Homo-oligomer: A and B are copies of this chain.
Amino acid sequence: MYGTARGEWRTTRQRAAVLGALRACDGFVSAQALHAALAADGVAVGLTTVYRTLRLLESAGHVDVVRDGDGERLYRPRPDGGHRHYAVCRECGLSLAVDSEEVEQWVARTVRLIGFRAVDHTVELTGVCGDCHRPADRRTDP
């Protein structure tokens, strides 16, 4: 494989910082946002290093990754063992883990049905959360 599970990374100030900042976030963050947050926190870490660390975490399976509307990668520390799916608010960025047991089963069944193998699935919900669509706000009301 790709050096994924080597568990041999050196412990550096930068990596600790990135990991810490990532954990300190509620929802998904982009590499750039993370870098900015670190900088704002007075921690100097190169953008390059943020990207590299995030990629490392990704291949080690320590983070979940989604893509926002522009194809930008958003990272989130993985809660526990398995992967999850989220509903992300496009106004405030709030992300809610949703129960997707049913979807998982549907995926498994569908995969079997169509004869695909090594299937990856993406299930993303993006909308406007309860806090963000208060009366004053609505400008989208079909």
- Chain A interface size, under 10 / 10 to 19 / 20 to 34 / 35 or more: 35 or more
A114 to chain B minimum Cβ distance, whole angstroms, is 6
Copies in the complex: 2
Pair B129/A115 contact, Cβ less than 8 Å: yes
Contacts of A98 in B (CB 8 A): 110, 114
Contacting residue for A114 out of B71, B96, B119, B121, CB 8 A: B96
Q: Is A80 an interface residue (CB 8 A)?
A: no
Pair A87/B71 contact, Cβ less than 8 Å: no
Considering the complex of A and B, which 7 residue pairs feature the smallest CB-CB distances, nearest first? A119-B127, A71-B71, A116-B127, A115-B130, A122-B124, A117-B133, A117-B128
Question: Using a CB–CB distance below 8 Å, which chain A residues touch chain B?
Answer: 67, 71-73, 87, 89, 96, 98-100, 102-103, 106-107, 110-111, 114-130, 133, 140
